[in-house]
């Protein structure tokens, strides 16, 4: 009974490159959430998706960041032209419904050189 | 603006002690409050509380919600070194489940 799977676990990019973070929700979960944890800060909501739909992206920067959850395959968080300030842990969570507990993946630690 | 505030930010206890963690919230359309334990990896779900005054218990951990005073507490009895972690409190701020997290309480249990 696999949990939320994220990959890669660690990702190193140089400034200006693109970062792609992947998340496969738990089986039976159709709600996917992305959160960012900056050093010394708490978890901050970025975006909420269901299959093929972005429901709420109010926490995601308007530029350089995008997310998708296609009909087939994992959810992707994409960061274009990365900058040092994007260095953080990015966590994905999933739930079967909005009023059910979210279960988290192990996160992707993104480091920008 | 919705907010969740945890206290203390950190504490150090000896094995066998009891710890009490606090979480206060201001959420416009309150639905529930959740507790998570975060060690080095994923936050692990502990409890979801929706009703006031009903204690939820799992082993040495328990939690209760007070919807009148807008807070929750998480108790850990007979602490062990494996309880060392950051404990996170969160509340959904809309019907889709978008979570507002507190800053967390770092608990260190020394042998």
pLDDT, tens digit (0-9, with 9 covering 90-100), for B23-46: 999 999 899 999 999 998 899 999
Contact A98 B34 (CB under 8 A): no
Q: Given CB atoms, is B8 within the 8 Å cutoff of chain A? A: no
Residues in chain B: 111
pLDDT per residue over A16-50, tens digit each? 999 999 999 999 999 999 999 987 788 999 999 99
From the list B34, B88, B96, the residue facing A101 with the nearest CB is B34
Distance from CA of A99 to the nearest CA of B (A): 6
Q: What is the mean pLDDT of chain B?
A: 95
CB-based contact A11:A19 (threshold 8 Å): yes
CB-based contact B102:B8 (threshold 8 Å): no
CB-based contact A75:A96 (threshold 8 Å): no
Q: What is the pLDDT of residue A51?
A: 87
Distance from CA of A67 to the nearest CA of B (A): 16
pLDDT over 90 at B79, yes or no: yes
Residue with tokens 């993104």: A110
CB-based contact B108:B13 (threshold 8 Å): yes
d(CA B23, CA B66) in angstroms, rounded, equals 10
Q: What is the pLDDT of residue A2?
A: 75
Q: What is the mean pLDDT of chain A?
A: 94
Residue with tokens 């998480």: B74
Q: What is the pLDDT of residue B100?
A: 95
Mean pLDDT of B92-102: 91
Rg for chain A (alpha carbons), in Å? 13
Mean pLDDT of B102-108: 96
Contact B98 A48 (CB under 8 A): yes
Mean pLDDT of B100-106: 95
Q: What is the pLDDT of residue B43?
A: 94
């Amino acid at each position: 009974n696999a949990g939320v799977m994220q990959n890669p676990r660690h990702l190193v990019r140089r400034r200006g490159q693109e970062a792609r973070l992947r998340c496969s929700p738990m089986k039976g979960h159709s709600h996917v959430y992305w959160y960012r944890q900056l050093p010394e800060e708490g978890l901050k909501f970025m975006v909420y998706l269901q299959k093929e739909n972005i429901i709420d992206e109010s926490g995601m920067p308007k530029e350089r960041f995008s997310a998708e959850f296609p009909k087939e395959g994992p959810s992707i968080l994409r960061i274009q032209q990365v900058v040092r300030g994007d260095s953080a842990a990015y966590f994905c969570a999933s739930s079967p419904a909005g009023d059910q507990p979210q279960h988290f993946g192990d996160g992707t630690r993104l480091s920008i050189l | 603006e919705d907010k969740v505030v945890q206290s203390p930010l950190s504490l150090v206890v000896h094995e066998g002690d009891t710890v009490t963690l606090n979480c206060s919230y201001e959420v416009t359309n309150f639905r529930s409050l959740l507790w998570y334990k975060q060690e080095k990896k994923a936050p692990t779900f502990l409890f979801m509380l929706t009703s006031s005054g009903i204690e939820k218990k799992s082993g040495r951990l328990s939690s209760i919600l007070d919807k009148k005073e807008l807070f929750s507490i998480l108790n850990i009895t007979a602490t062990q070194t494996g309880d060392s972690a950051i404990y996170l409190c969160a509340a959904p701020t809309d019907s889709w489940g978008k979570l507002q997290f507190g800053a967390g309480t770092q608990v260190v249990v020394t042998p």
